[in-house]
Structure 1
Amino acid sequence: MILLKISNSSELVAAKLGGLVERMTPDFIDDSTVEDMVIKRMLETLAQEGIKGEISSIKGIEVEKQQLVLNESFKVRNHQNF
């Protein structure tokens, strides 16, 4: 299993859509938007390589000192087979 955390969502939104849009949107929307874009590109690339599996977007999970921590707000936001 691979865990990917995107740490510069706001900067990516500002670069793609402009600083005004970034200032007007909350960070959680930026995170979700960037995650959706990354998942879409990953699915395209993995399909081209013939790789099959599952991909999920999850909120409320952290890795701290090599330990997986589930927060009370844990939620599977999106799940897809490919």
Structure 2
Amino acid sequence: MIVLKISNSSEVVASKVGKFLEFLTPDAVDQSAVEDQVIKKLIENLAAEGIKGEIAAVRGLDLDGQELSLHDGLKVRKHEAF
């Protein structure tokens, strides 16, 4: 299993839509938008290599160095098989 933590969602959104519009969107929306784009591109690239599997965006899971923490309200926000 691979865990990917995106730590600069706001900066990515700001670079794509501008600082002003990024300021108006909540960080949770930025995080979800970037995660959705990463998932889309990962699926495209992995499928092109013939790799099959599943990918999920999960809320309530945190990666901090060597520690993986589970929080209340653990929820799969998005799930796709490829």
Scaled by the length of structure 2, what TM-score is found?
0.94
Alpha-carbon shift at residue 74 of structure 1 (Å) = 1.1
2:5–2:63 CA contact under 8 A, matched in 1:
no
Distance (Å, rounded) in 2 between the aligned partners of 1:65 and 1:50: 31
Q: Which residue of 2 aligns with 1:63?
A: 63
Identity %: 55
Scaled by the length of structure 1, what TM-score is found?
0.94
* Structure 2, unaligned runs of 5 or more: none
Distance (Å, rounded) in 2 between the aligned partners of 1:54 and 1:78: 11
Taking only aligned residues, the RMSD between alpha carbons, in angstroms, comes to 1.1
- Runs of 4+ aligned residues of structure 1 deviating over 6 Å after TM superposition are none
Letter in 1 for 2:35: E
Matches within 5 A, 1:23-62: 23-62=23-62
Structure 1 residues 18-63: Cα deviation after superposition (integer angstroms, max 9, x where no partner) = 1111000000000000000000000100011000000000011013
